[in-house]
């Protein structure tokens, strides 16, 4: 007798059972998204509270502004008039300018999806299996998620690119990505001059991030060091230096754009995360039967470390082609996405036209820029 699924008589009397309305999504190409969720969900909020902060994915502040770009002042020097004096010593006049201006342009991206009125007429009632609108909208969101994640961790655009926003590595980068070329001055801990704060501009943006040169103002640079092994005597020691040296606190009050103390996280490859748990197991006598119990104990110097799937992928290149071994230590109180008013991934619906008389198109725009107010509170360690 034929199997049920090929029984010709039975197939005239019944149909397979369909699990309607719900479905499985395997279109996401990464096991975890670190950059996109906070931006996407935060941008869709009412946006009335300019300091609204989200604590899932990556903590991000989102503001909305007008204008043709974003500018802010940076105090780059200090006075040098301190002296011990007699009570009758005269006072000299000291009128100097301590501030310069940083600026970034707005950049815009978009995704879109469409449906046809005839399609909607077919997908309704008892004959509808899953919601067409939900599927198309999800496809659009997933497109944005993958593209945004790749952009966030990717290399900066060229200086002639007037469309692409500045990703993380525009602000935080290593010596091999700068005008200096390969690692030479930052191969280990530097205890002279400005230390490990990178006093070189990016090779693609030789005037410096935000238009401020790190050659002229090395305190505008992020902390950077090469490491050769993710080990207790190499990476862990250099990371501890980085954590200590980037923990800036002003002794005087002023109208600070960076509103809070450090809120830091480290982002690295899966391979480094696995080595970290191995180091943690070696120093703990109470691991129990779960060999990866230490996976969730991810702190080094009270800074959590996260594995970023994109850093493992073929789409990610750090420098020199094959080198992918990097750790970004990010202070999320210094970095945020800022959006322009009205361009925060909301659906703009275009009605049918003569060219497409039955088609509706939903277009989502995101306009703004990724901004780092104080790069020196962040670090990059790489091989």
What is the tens place of the pLDDT at every residue in 176-219?
A: 999 998 899 999 999 999 899 999 999 999 999 999 999 999 99
The answer on pLDDT for 347 being more than 90 is no
The answer on pLDDT for 123 being more than 70 is yes
Predicted confidence (pLDDT) per residue in 366-382, tens digit: 888 899 999 999 999 99
71 bridge partner residues? 103
Q: Which residues does 288 contact at the CB level (< 8 Å), separation at least 6? A: none
Percent of the chain with pLDDT over 90: 43
Q: Which pLDDT score, from 0 to 100, does residue 113 have? A: 92
| Mean of per-residue pLDDT scores for the chain | 83
* For residues 122-151, average pLDDT: 87
How would residue 54 be classed by pLDDT, with cut points 50, 70 and 90?
Answer: very low
In Å, the largest CA–CA distance within the chain is 116
Residue 293's φ and ψ, nearest 5 degrees, are -60, -25
Q: Which pLDDT score, from 0 to 100, does residue 366 have? A: 86
Q: Which pLDDT score, from 0 to 100, does residue 73 have? A: 93
The answer on pLDDT for 46 being more than 60 is no
Q: Which pLDDT score, from 0 to 100, does residue 340 have? A: 79
Q: Which pLDDT score, from 0 to 100, does residue 295 have? A: 45
CATH code of domain 27-76+97-382: 3.90.1690
The answer on pLDDT for 273 being more than 90 is no
Domain residue ranges of the chain, discontinuous segments joined by +: 27-76+97-382
How open is the CA angle 215-218-223, to the nearest 5 degrees?
120
Predicted confidence (pLDDT) per residue in 288-298, tens digit: 444 444 444 45
The answer on pLDDT for 3 being more than 70 is yes
Q: Buried b vs exposed e over 322-358: b needs ≥16 C-beta within 10 Å?
A: eebbbbbbbbbbbbbbbbbeebbbeeeeeeeeeeeee
Q: Which residues does 70 contact at the CB level (< 8 Å), separation at least 6? A: 103, 104, 106, 338, 369, 371
Q: Are 4 and 10 in contact (CB under 8 A)?
A: yes
* For residues 96-113, average pLDDT: 93
The answer on pLDDT for 42 being more than 50 is no
Q: Are 57 and 35 in contact (CB under 8 A)?
A: yes
């Amino acid at each position: 007798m034929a199997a049920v699924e090929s029984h010709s008589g039975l197939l005239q009397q019944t149909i397979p059972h369909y699990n309607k309305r719900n479905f499985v999504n395997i279109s996401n190409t990464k096991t975890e998204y670190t950059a996109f969720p906070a931006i996407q969900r935060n941008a869709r909020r009412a946006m009335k509270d300019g300091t609204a902060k989200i604590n899932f994915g990556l903590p991000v502040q989102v503001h909305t502004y007008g204008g043709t770009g974003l500018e802010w002042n940076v105090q780059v020097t200090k006075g040098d008039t301190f002296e011990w004096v007699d009570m009758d010593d005269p006072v000299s006049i000291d009128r100097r300018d301590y501030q310069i201006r940083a600026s970034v342009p707005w950049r815009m991206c978009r995704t879109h999806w469409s449906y046809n009125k005839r399609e909607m007429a077919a997908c309704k009632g008892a004959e509808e299996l899953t919601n067409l609108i939900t599927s198309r909208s999800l496809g659009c969101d997933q497109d944005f998620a993958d593209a945004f994640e790749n952009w966030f961790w990717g290399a900066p655009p060229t200086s002639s690119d007037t469309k692409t926003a500045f990703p993380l590595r525009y602000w935080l980068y290593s010596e091999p990505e700068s005008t200096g070329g390969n690692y030479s001055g930052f191969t280990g801990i530097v205890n002279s001059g400005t230390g490990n704060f990178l006093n070189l501009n990016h090779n693609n943006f030789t005037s410096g991030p935000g238009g401020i040169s790190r050659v002229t103002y090395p305190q505008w640079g992020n902390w950077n060091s090469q490491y050769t092994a993710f080990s207790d005597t190499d990476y862990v020691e250099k990371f501890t230096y980085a954590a200590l040296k980037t923990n800036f606190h002003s002794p005087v009050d002023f109208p600070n754009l960076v509103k809070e103390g450090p809120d830091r996280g480290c982002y690295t490859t899966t391979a480094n995360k696995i080595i970290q748990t191995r180091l943690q197991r070696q120093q703990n006598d109470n691991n129990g039967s779960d060999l990866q119990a230490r996976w969730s104990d991810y702190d080094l110097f009270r800074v959590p470390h996260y594995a970023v799937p994109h850093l493992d992928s073929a789409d990610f290149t750090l420098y020199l082609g094959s080198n992918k071994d990097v750790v970004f230590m990010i202070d999320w109180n210094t970095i945020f996405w800022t959006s322009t008013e009205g361009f925060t991934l909301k659906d703009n619906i275009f009605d049918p036209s003569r060219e497409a008389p039955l088609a509706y198109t939903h277009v989502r725009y995101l306009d703004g820029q990724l901004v780092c107010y104080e790069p020196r509170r962040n670090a990059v360690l790489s091989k």
